[in-house]
Amino acid sequence: MSVSESVGPQALPELKVQVEKILAAAKQQGASACEVEVSVQQGLATSVRQREVETVEFNRDQGFSITLYHGQQKGSASTTATGDAAIQETVAAALAIAKYASPDEFAGLADEHLMAREFPDLDLWHPWDLSPERAIELALECEAAAFATDSRISNADGSSVNTDVGCTIYGNSHGLIAGHAGTRHSISCVMIAEADGNMQRDYWYDYGRRADLLTDAATIGRIAAERTVNRLGARSVSTCDVPVLFAAELAGGLFNSLLGAIAGGNQYRNASFLLGALGQTLFPEWLTLDERPLQPGGLASSAFDGDGLATYAKPFIENGVLVSYMLSTYSGRKLGMPSTANSGGARNLFVTHGDEDQAALLKKMGRGLLVTELMGQGLNMVTGDYSRGAGGYWVENGEIQFPVQEVTIAGNMRDMFKQIVAIGNDLDRRGSVCTGSVLIERMKVAGS
């Protein structure tokens, strides 16, 4: 049976009825306000390794989480059960928690007039009619293509094909009950290469809402193998201050760090290196970072946020200037500012890019480090100090010379943002931030 047959748009009416029951139970038990999220997810995950099937897994998760208020006191509870008894018990548990909680003047639902009213079709439902047998075939095809690419590919660390479908309904005591069904699919490959006593590991993958738009399995295997073989002979470099080019698949992390710093929670806790930075120039004037939550087919598209507020397109960075924090209803109240409809985070971020590909950015860089691997977290959110283990390629005269490993790259995020020289057109659309490779004018590279 296809994983989408019992989970999909056809399940939404039943989930809405469940939300109505939960809201009614909360009111009957004495809650002054309530919000609830009901969800069901189902998927198929397959993996192979060394030409053998390793796993074939079906998964199905369902349940609901509830947050209710007893005046200005808040309580939350969740369960994976779905029956009437579970509803009554979970509501009672949340209400008991609320009655013991300290009053919070900022707690409570968002204002009713801010609730989402329009729910356009965001093109999120694209089920993949994928049988376990076909998923295994694709995973084996991916791995076989990797082994056929180069004789130095000595081992496989897993090729996988996954498909997931899900439905989520949000409702609150203002009368809002809305949700959506969505799909996500992926193909990935991790390989190991060996030559002259040296072993290296690398990967490639694709991920999206539509299976027909994924890179084909054989190509993913070939790219994973090429990346792995190219890592052979990696060595460290002497400590230096040089330009650093973050490959597109890693560059989104730089902007995720920005989002953490401008998130309302870190702002009101005084735990951000961008504390009070609204209106300040943080990036070159040509750079804009904007959110597009209503993007059709977007990986994070939604007509409403986690508080039920209508989402809308907006910039966070405009012409280099920080023009908005990222606020939920609660953090906005703490800061004395309106919510930006970002409860649950940002949705579909797009970064300004130029018309040069990665090869052109290497020419522009001249001499420095192309980073294709990062290790550890390495960001002090309070100071902005950034330090992470890295791997990649050393570049001289705009050309890759040899692979690099066992180095650390370091800088301060404020300096790194200002020193962005260019962003490439090699956009990576597989995550929450759509950006190309990012060239930074100078960072510390600590090696041997």
Residue 4 has pLDDT above 60, yes or no: no
Q: Where are the alpha helices (DSSP H) in 308-420?
A: 329-335, 358-365, 413-418
CB 264 within 8 A of CB 272: no
Q: Which two tokens stand for residue 71?
A: 């005046």
- Inter-CA distances, 382 with 262, 334, 379, Å: 12, 19, 9
Residues 273 and 193 in one domain: no
Same domain? For 221 and 241 the reply is: no
Is 289 found in the same domain as 191?
no
Q: What is the pLDDT of residues 162-187, one digit of tens each?
A: 999 999 999 999 999 999 999 999 99
Q: What is the mean pLDDT of residues 122-150?
A: 97
Q: 290 near 435, Cβ under 8 Å? A: no
Query: How far is Cα 331 from Cα 23, in angstroms, rounded to an integer?
Result: 25
Q: Are residues 326 and 272 in the same domain?
A: yes
Q: What is the pLDDT of residue 2?
A: 53
Is 407 a domain residue? yes
Assigned domain for 3 exists:
no
Q: Give the residue from 197, 40, 175, 28 showing the smallest Cα distance to 116.
A: 175
Q: Cα dist. 198→85, 152, 195 in Å?
A: 60, 11, 5
Looking at the structure, do residues 21 and 141 belong to the same domain, yes or no? yes
Residue 4 lies in a domain: no
Q: What is the pLDDT of residue 5?
A: 59
Report if residue 87 sits inside a domain.
Answer: yes
194-212 residue pLDDT tens: 998 899 999 999 999 999 9
Query: Of 229, 250, 277, which closes a domain?
Result: 229
Q: Decide if 2 is inside a domain.
A: no
CATH number at 156 reads 3.30.2290.10
| Same-domain status, 73 and 123 | yes
Q: Please indicate, yes or no, whether residues 209 and 86 belong to a single structural domain of this protein.
A: yes
> Percent of the chain beyond pLDDT 90?
95
Asked if residue 433 has pLDDT above 90, the reply is yes
Does residue 288 share a domain with residue 165? no
pLDDT at 386 over 60: yes
Tell me the residue range of the domain where 444 lies: 234-448
Structural domains of the chain, count: 2
Three-state DSSP state, 150: coil
Q: Is 353 inside a domain boundary?
A: yes
Pairing of strands 33-49, 385-396: unpaired
Residue that is last in its domain, among 229, 260, 290? 229
Among candidate residues 189, 209, 229, the one where a domain is terminated:
229
Shared domain check, 199 and 272: no
In-domain check, residue 15: yes
Both 279 and 352 in a single domain? yes
pLDDT, tens only, 45-104? 999 999 999 999 999 999 999 999 999 999 999 999 888 999 999 999 999 999 999 999
Confidence of residue 1 (pLDDT cuts 50, 70, 90): very low
Residues 358-378: what's their mean pLDDT?
95
Three-state DSSP class for residue 270? coil
User: Could you tell me if residue 62 is inside a domain?
Assistant: yes
Nearest CA among 427, 371, 364, 438 for reference residue 399: 364
pLDDT over 70 for what percent of the chain?
99
Average pLDDT over the chain, rounded to an integer? 95
Give pLDDT tens digits for 273-303. Answer: 999 999 999 999 999 999 999 999 999 999 9
Q: Are 325 and 264 in contact (CB under 8 A)?
A: yes
* Domain shared by 14 and 125, yes or no: yes
Q: Work out the average pLDDT over 215-242.
A: 97
Same domain, 267 and 198: no
Residue 6 in this model has a pLDDT that exceeds 80: no
Give mean pLDDT, residues 422-430. 96
